[in-house]
């Protein structure tokens, strides 16, 4: 019996030390204005030409984001349509809350697709990875064709205007 308990304990320790789950990456509120300004500066390279990515698969736009040093950290499919995806640059709920409490905005990219996706499968991936952008999510969405791209909260660190670019 003692051997079984020790064996179970040992296996549990191995599993927990070998699992490579993603973790949130908090951002210090003092650093956020610089992070915001750098993100917007990089996005400004893409915003004027966003229509170039219409009728293209998401993978083409993701490549352009990467080439402009824009890192997607989190995402949200829907919630009301199965042809919509939000891409975000912060993946930490506590940081998001502190950013909001300080009167700052969080930019994000809203993408509408020409076709729908399997929302049940999208939800399963989302639940498995806890909103973190990951290779499984990227593979799921990468071939969907972009209908429209909107850049939200890109008009200034404290500008809460609802009009996207």
| pLDDT (tens place) for every residue of the chain, 165 residues total | 433 333 333 332 333 333 334 456 788 899 999 999 999 999 999 999 999 999 999 999 999 999 999 999 999 997 677 899 999 999 888 888 999 999 999 999 999 999 999 989 999 999 998 889 999 999 999 999 999 999 999 999 999 987 899
Sign of CA dihedral 45, 48, 52, 54: positive
**pLDDT of amino acid 1:** 43
Prediction pTM value: 0.82
Range of the domain at 64: 28-152
Would residue 63 count as lying in a domain? yes
Number of domains in the chain: 1
Domain membership of residue 161 (yes or no) is no
Give domain status of residue 15, yes or no: no
Count each helix (H run) and each strand (E run) in the chain, helices first: 6, 4
Asked if residue 38 belongs to a domain, the reply is yes
């Amino acid at each position: 019996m003692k051997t079984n308990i020790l064996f179970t304990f040992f296996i549990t320790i191995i599993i927990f030390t070998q699992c490579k789950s993603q973790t949130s990456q908090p951002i210090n509120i003092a650093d956020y204005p610089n992070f915001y300004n750098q993100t917007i500066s990089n996005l400004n390279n893409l915003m004027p030409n966003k229509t170039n990515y219409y009728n293209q698969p998401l993978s083409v736009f993701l490549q352009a984001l990467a080439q402009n040093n824009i890192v997607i950290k989190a995402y949200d499919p829907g919630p009301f349509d199965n042809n919509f995806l939000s891409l975000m640059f912060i993946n930490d709920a506590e940081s998001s809350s502190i950013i909001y409490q300080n009167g700052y905005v969080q930019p994000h990219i809203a993408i509408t697709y020409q076709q729908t996706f399997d929302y049940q499968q999208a939800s399963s991936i989302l639940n498995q990875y806890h909103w973190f952008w990951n290779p499984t999510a990227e593979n799921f969405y990468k071939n969907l064709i972009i209908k429209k791209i909107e850049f939200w909260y890109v008009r200034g660190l404290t500008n809460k205007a609802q009009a996207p670019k």
